[in-house]
């Protein structure tokens, strides 16, 4: 049986305007904590977009994923190097191998007890920070996801969402000291308009729009996120938390 993530990435068409916006904002958050010579591990790298970005910036940037198809996309589409197939719960690296260990869109696919195990393992191979990005429980995305599940259109398997309090609890139980919290993507759920079939997205509270209109909305939303970070961290789709590693 084909793995769900290999199946999803087999049809990967590259990042659209929304994903490019999210990546740009996410990278901006990461760069607050990354020094010029820091080494970086993305433990669950998916397409490898961010792995490639930091490689091009001169970092030793490594991407690990347990699935073959995302690693193929990372290499062939984004030119990422230093890619490794491996297990998040048993990372194939020595203690304190990287300055920064992070992931996005990974931990929500496990029960919290397993996620704590994963973050402990990430902390083991990190010298400085572990950074986690998960879906925010208080964003509109949660409603869209529920509707997609009811309609049998949800394709991403098991997925949880997090409040800031819950994510902080996870990080602390994994032995980290929380030193930062951020939010990315305050916009409503949108999708690039392709044809009249795109109207079906409205049933899932997702608005189909031309890409030019989406870009204008994202530019306006970006200013709100920049000017009101407290509001963003509570209601944005992406909840990002930074944990400092305390090596004893």
Each of the 248 residues of the chain gets a pLDDT tens digit; together they read 358 888 889 889 899 999 999 999 999 999 999 999 999 999 999 999 999 999 999 999 999 999 999 999 999 999 999 999 999 999 999 999 999 999 999 999 999 999 999 999 999 999 999 999 999 999 988 889 999 999 898 989 999 999 999 999 999 999 999 999 999 999 888 988 888 788 888 888 889 999 999 999 999 999 999 999 999 999 999 999 999 998 76
Report residue 18 as tokens. Answer: 């929304």
Task: Report pLDDT for 204.
Answer: 83
Report residue 86 as tokens. Answer: 């491996």
User: 217 in a domain, yes or no?
Assistant: no
CATH of the domain at 237: 3.40.50.150
Domain count for the chain: 1
Domain limits for position 91: 4-135+158-184+230-245
User: 147 in a domain, yes or no?
Assistant: no
User: 173 in a domain, yes or no?
Assistant: yes
This prediction has a pTM of 0.94
Task: Report pLDDT for 3.
Answer: 82
User: 223 in a domain, yes or no?
Assistant: no
Spatial separation of the C-alpha atoms in residues 187 and 110, rounded to whole Å: 26
Spatial separation of the C-alpha atoms in residues 99 and 81, rounded to whole Å: 18
Could you tell me the CA-to-CA distances from 27 to 75, 115, 137 in Å, in that order?
A: 20, 23, 22
User: 236 in a domain, yes or no?
Assistant: yes
Spatial separation of the C-alpha atoms in residues 66 and 88, rounded to whole Å: 8
Q: What is the DSSP pairing of strand 126-135 with strand 61-65?
A: unpaired
User: 129 in a domain, yes or no?
Assistant: yes
User: 131 in a domain, yes or no?
Assistant: yes
User: 38 in a domain, yes or no?
Assistant: yes
Secondary structure class of 164 (helix, strand, coil): helix
């Amino acid at each position: 049986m084909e793995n769900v993530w290999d199946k999803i990435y087999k049809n990967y068409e590259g990042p659209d305007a929304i994903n490019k916006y999210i990546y740009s904002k996410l990278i901006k958050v990461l760069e607050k904590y990354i020094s010029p010579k820091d080494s970086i591990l993305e433990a669950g790298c998916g397409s490898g977009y961010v792995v490639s970005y930091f490689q091009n910036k001169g970092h030793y940037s490594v991407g690990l994923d347990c699935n073959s198809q995302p690693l193929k996309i990372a290499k062939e589409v984004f030119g990422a190097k230093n890619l490794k197939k491996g297990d998040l719960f048993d990372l194939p690296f020595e203690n304190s191998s990287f300055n920064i260990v992070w992931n996005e869109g990974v931990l929500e696919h496990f029960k919290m007890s397993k996620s704590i195990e994963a973050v402990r393992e990430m902390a083991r191979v990190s010298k400085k920070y572990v950074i986690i990005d998960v879906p925010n429980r208080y964003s509109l995305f949660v409603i869209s996801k529920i509707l997609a599940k009811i309609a049998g259109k949800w394709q991403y398997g098991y997925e949880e969402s997090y409040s800031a309090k819950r994510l902080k609890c996870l990080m602390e139980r994994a032995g980290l000291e929380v030193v930062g919290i951020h939010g990315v993507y305050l916009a409503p759920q949108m999708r690039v308009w392709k044809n009249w079939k795109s109207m079906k997205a409205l049933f899932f509270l997702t608005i189909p729009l031309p890409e030019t209109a989406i870009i204008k909305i994202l530019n306006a939303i970006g200013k709100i996120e920049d000017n009101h970070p407290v509001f963003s961290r509570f209601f944005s789709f992406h909840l990002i938390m930074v944990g400092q590693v305390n090596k004893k």
